[in-house]
Amino acid sequence: MDYAAGGHGGPPHYRRRLRVRNPLYLARWADNRIPMGGRASRRPIEIFAAIFVAAGFIYSFHLGTDALGASEAYSAWAAGKPGVGAILRTPVLHDPGKQVFYYVILHYYTRIFGLSEVSLRSLSVIFSLATLVLVFAIGCEMFDDNTALAAAAMWAFNPLAVVFAHTARMYSMLIALALAQLWTLWRVRKRPSMSGAVACGIAGAALLYTHLGGILFIGVGVAMLVRDYIGGKRNPMAWLAIAITLALFMPYVPVARAQSETLIAGHWLDWIGTGYEYPLAIKVVFLLGAATVAMWFVVARTRDAGGDGQLVWLGAWTILPGLMLAAGSVVIRPMFNLRYVAPSTATIALLMAAGLARVSVKWRNLLVAGFALACLIVLPFDRVDPQPWRDFATQVSQGGSSDPVFFESGFVSIGNAPSVANDGFPFGYYSVPFDYYFRGSNPRIAIPGFDSTSARMTIGERVSSAGGGWLVSWKDGDAVTSELPDPKRFSAVEKYRGEHLAFYRITPVRK
């Protein structure tokens, strides 16, 4: 037998060398090393597809059932502007911190599908489904298909994910763009390329143009690249991606700076209030503690130091943004809100799926399945309270068409009303959601929310001449009582009382 001719005879060591050099044999050998041929790699994708479809159904369920909230109505108001120029002025004047990209996208989306509750919220459904895909993609990129599947299952039916999908605000878009920036940054870090750097830079700029909170995640990305640099990993393409992001956002910096000053100095609903009176020592200790944690992520040697540092990256991305806001809340003013670190809530799923796998893949899978099932059971009972704006509109329409509706102008605050004159929301913060549902001719009158004496006089005069009126207020307790006219001359009946929202029917007392 001619050994060179490929016969099967010959010494065993020769047959081994011949098979190793045979590509067909190598392919069959590799295939035998994979359970079930190639089917094992397809199974996570098939299961993910089923999760994706189920999530799409849940995210789309009852989109138009509840009335829009006040902030959602602002999205509709901005999207309904006649053009991009008018949209660009919206966050500058009325909605600091919320940037223009979401409003522009929503503007063109609603030109096709309309301004109904379903249409406005369906864009959030699309971004939420994109987030689910990105969670799976990041899991595959950083770990493996099964870890990616576990993370996707944990996030898909999480009540937070459902809430973001059902809300016509930019937060679902914020999460999707932040994860896109993380995914592209990780890819360009591992496989440097000019196209990857450009894609990552554009994703980062889109993130910043969506919400100022994106600065936190860009900052974490920079910190992790500094960690790479200290560790001897030089990747100019990753730094180029950050440079592209900053260059694209540079034209908007003056506006963002003005907005930041307003956010810090002003009093804004659901985000910032009167500074806590912590002792200086507590502020210093908390600031140093936060800085120490941040420095640990940047310089500490970990078990992942010899690998790619996936858990360190995800840990920094999950912990540091919230830690920065918490430190700012103690040192400056309250500013922490879960919505502003929403992308971190998605990476918690990735972090847990990867961390649990290091302990036990079997127990990881069981816990993930149990968590997903628990979320599905809880979802029907986890609905937010319905918004009252449809009911307000109905009540006003049943009254006289000449009865004025009063709205407080000025910056909106939690707790004590600001007493300093300001030009925030000159038409009244709550006039926007009210006008979304009410189409009557009743006069809308703005009263100064920072001057209760002037507000009380205006309400008394207009109600006397019209024979009745309505007050929609964001104030609580004594703050709103101080605006109501003399109880000896006017009857003020509270029709609704909710969180930072009250509705009154005011009529002259009949003698």
* Residues 311-328 pLDDT 10s: 999 999 999 999 998 888
pLDDT of residue 415: 52
User: Please, are residues 122 and 113 in contact by the beta-carbon 8 Å criterion?
Assistant: yes
Task: Supply the DSSP symbol for 505.
Answer: E
Record the tokens describing residue 151, joined without a space: 């993370």
Could you tell me the pLDDT band of residue 465, with boundaries at 50, 70 and 90?
Answer: very high
Record the tokens describing residue 501, joined without a space: 């929202």
Looking only at the bridges linking them, the beta strands covering 469-473 and 444-448 are: unpaired
pLDDT digits (tens, 9 = 90+) for 128-141: 999 999 999 999 99
| Torsional class of 367: left (φ above 0), alpha (ψ -120 to 50), beta (otherwise) | alpha
Who contacts 183 (Cβ-Cβ below 8 Å, separation ≥6)? 134, 137, 138, 141
Confidence check: pLDDT of 6 > 70: no
The residue among 316, 304, 289 whose CA lies nearest residue 182 is 316
Average pLDDT score over residue span 425-433: 89
**What percentage of the chain has pLDDT greater than the value 70?**
83
Record the tokens describing residue 270, joined without a space: 């659901």
Give 409-466 as a DSSP string. ES---SSSPP-S---SSTT-TTHHHHHHH--S-PPEEEEETT-HHHHHHHHHHHHHHH
pLDDT digits (tens, 9 = 90+) for 51-72: 999 999 999 988 988 999 998 9
Tell me the torsion sign for CA atoms 122, 123, 124, 127.
positive
pLDDT of residue 97: 53
Q: Which comes out higher in pLDDT, residue 224 or 269?
A: 224
Could you tell me the pLDDT band of residue 379, with boundaries at 50, 70 and 90?
Answer: confident
pLDDT digits (tens, 9 = 90+) for 318-362: 999 999 988 888 887 777 888 889 999 999 999 999 999 989 999
User: Please, are residues 147 and 153 in contact by the beta-carbon 8 Å criterion?
Assistant: no
- Residue 504 sits at the vertex; the CA angle it makes with 502 and 506, to the nearest 5 degrees, is 160
Residue with tokens 């004496």: 453
User: Please, are residues 273 and 334 in contact by the beta-carbon 8 Å criterion?
Assistant: yes
The Cα 243–Cα 414 span in angstroms is 38
Confidence check: pLDDT of 41 > 70: no
Who contacts 91 (Cβ-Cβ below 8 Å, separation ≥6)? 78, 97, 98, 99, 100, 103, 259
Query: Among 15-19, 236-240, 428-432, 507-511, where is mean pLDDT lowest?
Result: 15-19
pLDDT of residue 308: 67
pLDDT of residue 307: 56
Q: What is the CA radius of gyration of the chain?
A: 29
Q: Which comes out higher in pLDDT, residue 35 or 95?
A: 95
Query: Among 178-182, 235-239, 423-427, 428-432, where is mean pLDDT lowest?
Result: 423-427
Residue with tokens 């609580």: 476
pLDDT digits (tens, 9 = 90+) for 251-300: 888 777 766 665 555 544 444 555 567 788 888 898 999 999 999 999 88
Confidence check: pLDDT of 417 > 90: no
Q: Which comes out higher in pLDDT, residue 31 or 108?
A: 108
What's the chain's average pLDDT?
Answer: 84
Average pLDDT score over residue span 475-487: 87
Q: How many residues does the chain have?
A: 511
Phi and psi, residue 243, nearest 5°: -65, -40
- Residue 34 sits at the vertex; the CA angle it makes with 33 and 35, to the nearest 5 degrees, is 115
The Cα 159–Cα 377 span in angstroms is 10
pLDDT of residue 274: 56
Letter for the amino acid at 474?
A: W
pLDDT digits (tens, 9 = 90+) for 491-503: 999 999 988 899 9
From residue 30, alpha-carbon distances to 14, 25, 34 in Å are 21, 9, 7
Phi and psi, residue 359, nearest 5°: -85, -55
Confidence check: pLDDT of 306 > 90: no
> Burial code of 184-208, b = ≥16 C-beta within 10 A, e = fewer?
bbbbbbeebeeebbbbbbbbbbbbb
Average pLDDT score over residue span 68-82: 91
**What percentage of the chain has pLDDT greater than the value 90?**
60
- Three-class SS state of 213: coil
